[in-house]
């Protein structure tokens, strides 16, 4: 009598943190699928739970510790449950995770995510728990990923480098992701072609400090040159890249953005602070004047460019006067988007040696003040778009109004369409008929002429 095939094993990957982490998670998901695992509808229904972790702030790690704690009871009831931890916290804590969380079977570091699926099966076979870390500054071969495993058909993320060779004093990235390691141009273009061939029309190039891409490669190719090559890949309609740090921005990059129509007029450009004294304590390598000079260059060389940024409030020693310099920078630069964070001490960083002396309530009130100033700027920038025409790449149902579709303009601004208009992956031209705090309301029926916004 034929015995029924066992049901496929189900895996749940919970991601925290940046897009590079999400991309590593997509790789792990593709590798698990190749080995017969299927995605689980929830963590509760999974045979394998994977936490893809972030270390950029303590809060991100605390969330994972509590998730692991919550799984202990379930593992007692069902010892066959498998639990894995990957990403930056895995790299930073390593064996400590196995010691502190008996529920965990596999720990893989930031340059071993390609081994996750194999190690899970190894543990299944031997019952021995493992942690696989590699010196994050050692050599690295980017594993070939299954590009069909991705969050959105129309968008493809491509990692062009790993790690960062800067040492910003608050940042944990160099210690968990290692020194800069660049992927060669051929493997990047090959992945872009596979993504475009599989329906991705928007390509996001990813790197912690993407402006320096190529510095570790023979012949030192540059990001502007890479953008020109990606620009020629058939099927690619929009190109974006992040993260661009001011200390490494060069004019040829801005010129390439101005010349290449498929490179979107949007730059993620972290200032972090507006006070020269704080920027020095952050080891950022530029001052306020230089940042503003680069903003001027970007706006002069890339027509209609919109800028986004990251900002940290409450850095050690931040005085009222220094904070005022940050607030005034918000009003002076007028970013279309700002990701604002409260300073969080990270072990192993230079700033960890400084007293975290800005009280939490002060951090919170400064955070709120920056958010309020930024919201005013954003509302004004969006209001100024009313009556203009924009092209929207539709992502899917709006988070707030699921009966309506939402997407992103060329400036990466969030746009919502009328009910019944558009579907995921569609490019729709429309007129901005209304703007609210963070959203443009775009009506394709009101669009007049074709062409770029
Ligand atoms: S540039 Fe600075 S903030 Fe950015 S990843 Fe490198 S060390 Fe961290």
Q: What is the pLDDT along the chain (453 residues), one digit of tens a residue?
A: 667 788 889 999 999 999 999 999 999 999 999 999 999 999 999 999 999 999 998 899 999 999 999 999 999 999 999 999 999 999 999 999 999 999 999 999 998 888 999 999 999 999 999 999 877 666 677 778 889 999 999 999 999 999 999 999 999 999 999 999 999 999 999 999 999 999 999 999 999 999 999 999 999 999 999 999 999 999 999 999 999 999 999 999 999 999 999 999 999 999 999 999 999 999 999 999 999 999 999 999 999 999 999 999 999 999 999 999 999 999 999 999 999 999 999 999 999 999 999 999 999 999 999 999 999 999 999 999 999 999 999 999 999 889 999 999 999 999 999 998 999 999 999 999 999 888 999 999 888 765 444
pLDDT score for 400:
87
Nearest-angstrom CA–CA distance, 363 and 156: 36
DSSP for 282-307, please give it: TT-S--HHHHHHHHHHHHHHSTT-EE
**CA atoms within 13 A of residue 300's CA, in its CB half-sphere:** 8
- Quick check: do 10-132 and 389-446 share a fold? no
pLDDT in tens, 104-113: 999 999 988 8
Distance 236 CA to ligand 1 centre (A): 29
**CA atoms within 13 A of residue 157's CA, in its CB half-sphere:** 20
Could you state, in order of their start, the residue ranges of all structural domains in the chain?
10-132, 155-383, 389-446
Residues linked to residue 24 through DSSP beta bridges, in sequence order: none
Q: Give the homologous superfamily in CATH for domain 10-132.
A: Methylthiotransferase, N-terminal domain (3.40.50.12160)
- Ligand 1 contact, 174 CB (< 6 A): yes
- Ligand 1 contact, 171 CB (< 6 A): yes
Return the DSSP state at 272: B
143 CA to centre of own chain:
19
Q: Which atom of ligand 1 is nearest to the CA of 171?
A: 8
Question: Domain spanning 155-383 has what CATH number?
Answer: 3.80.30.20
| CB < 8 Å & 24+ apart, contacts of 286-291 | 286/246, 286/247, 288/325, 288/329, 290/246, 291/246, 291/329, 291/333
Q: Which atom of ligand 1 is nearest to the CA of 247?
A: 1
pLDDT score for 453:
44
Q: How many CB atoms lie within 10 A of CB 65?
A: 16
* Pair 52, 24: CB distance under 8 Å: yes
Distance 173 CA to ligand 1 centre (A): 6
Question: How far, CA to CA in Å, does 180 sit from each of 19, 245, 251, 298?
Answer: 17, 14, 22, 25
**CA atoms within 13 A of residue 439's CA, in its CB half-sphere:** 16
Return the DSSP state at 9: P
pLDDT in tens, 2-44: 677 888 899 999 999 999 999 999 999 999 999 999 999 999 9
Nearest-angstrom CA–CA distance, 447 and 9: 49
3-state SS, residue 39: strand
pLDDT score for 335:
97
- Ligand 1 contact, 29 CB (< 6 A): no
Q: What CATH architecture applies to the domain 389-446?
A: Beta Barrel (2.40)
- Ligand 1 contact, 55 CB (< 6 A): no
- Ligand 1 contact, 164 CB (< 6 A): yes
Nearest-angstrom CA–CA distance, 29 and 32: 5
């Amino acid at each position: 009598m034929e015995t029924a095939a066992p049901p496929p094993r189900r895996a749940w990957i919970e991601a925290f943190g940046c897009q590079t982490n999400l991309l590593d998670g997509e790789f792990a998901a593709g590798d698990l699928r190749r080995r017969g695992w299927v995605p689980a509808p929830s963590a509760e229904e999974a045979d394998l739970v994977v936490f893809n972790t972030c270390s950029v702030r303590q809060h991100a790690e605390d969330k994972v510790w509590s998730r692991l704690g919550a799984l202990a009871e379930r593992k007692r009831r069902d010892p066959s449950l498998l639990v894995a931890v990957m990403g930056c916290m895995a790299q930073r804590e390593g064996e400590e995770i196995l010691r502190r969380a008996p529920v965990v079977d596999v720990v893989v570091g930031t340059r071993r995510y390609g081994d996750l699926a194999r190690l899970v099966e190894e543990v299944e076979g031997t019952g021995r728990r493992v942690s696989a870390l590699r010196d994050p500054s050692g050599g690295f071969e980017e594993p070939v990923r299954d590009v069909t495993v991705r969050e959105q058909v129309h968008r493809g993320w491509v990692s062009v480098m790993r790690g960062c060779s800067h040492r910003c004093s608050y940042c944990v990235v160099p210690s968990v992701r290692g020194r800069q390691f660049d992927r060669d141009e051929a493997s990047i273009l090959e992945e872009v072609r596979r993504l475009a061939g599989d329906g991705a029309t928007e390509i996001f190039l990813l790197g912690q400090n993407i402006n320096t891409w190529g510095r570790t490669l023979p012949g030192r190719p540059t990001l502007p040159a890479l953008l020109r090559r990606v620009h020629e890949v058939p099927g690619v309609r929009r190109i974006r890249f992040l993260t661009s740090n001011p200390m490494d921005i060069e004019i040829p990059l801005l010129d390439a953005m101005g010349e290449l129509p498929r490179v979107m007029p949007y730059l993620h450009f972290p200032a972090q602070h507006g006070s020269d004294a704080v920027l020095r304590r952050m080891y950022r390598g530029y001052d306020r004047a230089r940042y503003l000079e680069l903003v001027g260059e970007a706006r002069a060389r890339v027509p209609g460019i919109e800028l986004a940024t990251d900002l940290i409030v409450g850095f050690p020693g931040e005085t009222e006067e220094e904070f005022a310099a940050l607030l005034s920078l918000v009003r002076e630069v007028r970013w279309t988007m700002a990701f604002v964070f409260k300073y969080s001490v990270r072990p192993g960083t230079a700033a960890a040696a400084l007293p975290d002396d800005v009280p939490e309530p002060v951090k919170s009130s400064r955070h709120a003040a920056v958010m309020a100033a930024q919201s005013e700027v954003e509302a004004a920038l969006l209001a100024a778009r009313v009556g203009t025409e924009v092209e929207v790449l539709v992502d899917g149902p709006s988070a707030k109004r699921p009966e309506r579709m939402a997407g992103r303009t060329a400036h990466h601004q969030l746009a919502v369409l009328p009910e019944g208009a558009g579907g995921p992956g569609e490019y729709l031209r429309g007129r901005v008929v209304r703007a609210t705090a963070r959203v443009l309301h775009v009506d394709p029926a009101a669009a007049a002429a074709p062409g770029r916004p």
